[in-house]
Amino acid sequence: MVVVLAVDALEYDKIEEFNCVNMKQTVYGKTDISEFKEPRTIVLWSSFMTGENKEKEVLAKGNRGMWNIRIPLSETFFSKFADPKVIDLPAYSYNLAQHEKERDLLKQFFKEDDQEKKKKIRSEYNQIAIQHHNKIKKEFLKSLKQDFDFILGYISVIDVIGHLNFGNKFLMQMLYDDLEKIVEQIKNIRDEPLLILSDHGMKAIGIFGEHSNYGYWSYNKGCDLENPKITEFYSFLTTI
């Protein structure tokens, strides 16, 4: 079995700052996404699963349309496995209703001028992101006890909450600590090849967060990859 923990906006500098020892596996570092004009979530995960730069194709769908993209299994490297399970991945199996809810609250937050109301919207936004995270976490950990030969769990909470709270160190550390626990639980359930991968990282703009222009990767065995491109994992994961 091959396991991928796909974490949106997992930031190299935060991993170091919080010294996340579980996520710093045998090899770890930044990924090279410099071939892309902008670090966009849908573009990067689409390129990851197909092994090809999908920026042009994705951008052609427009800002709203890109979230509806569903890449067929046959175009992804998941099809190289006999029984793959891919949980909540953008452009593949992502929960669109959840994304709509988050985007709607984000819009409301930036439109609102009243500080008290803003606070309320932020708290609702954080709450629905954490609820969704807990649901996905449960499904992912349960799947690890089943007979799939490939499991990918996609975690959105660090990106979603980061956009409104990246300058809140206490909250961000809590989320990174939770990820540390997830990695520990994965290792307790199975000792399998484990790739931790982010599409891009995040940098602080005051209290808010913006995508940074590199991603993060970490693998629990020695390997030849160095500052890899996100498209390189297609062949890496299918030749382990």
Select the span of 4-12, 51-59, 78-86, 187-195 touching Zn ion (CB under 5 A). Answer: 4-12
**Residue 76 identity:** T
Burial 20-34 (b: 16+ CB within 10 A, else e): bebbbbeebbbbbbe
Among 23, 140, 199, 234, binds Zn ion (CB under 5 A): 199
- Residue from 8, 11, 55, 102 touching Zn ion (CB under 5 A): that is 8
How many residues at the interface with Zn ion, by CB under 5 A? Answer: 4
Please give the residue whose beta carbon sits closest to Zn ion in the complex: 41
47 and 230 Cβ atoms separated by less than 8 Å: yes
CA distances from 107 to 111, 129, 163 (A): 6, 15, 12
User: How many CB atoms neighbour CB 144 within 10 A?
Assistant: 18
Q: How many CB atoms lie within 10 A of CB 210?
A: 16
Site for Zn ion in 24-43 (CB under 5 A): 41
Query: At closest approach, how far in Å is the CB of 236 from Zn ion?
Result: 20
Least distance (Å) between residue 185 CB and Zn ion: 23
Instruction: Give the binding range for Zn ion (CB under 5 A) out of 154-162, 182-190, 202-210, 212-220.
Output: 154-162
Q: Which residues bind Zn ion (CB under 5 A)?
A: 8, 41, 159, 199
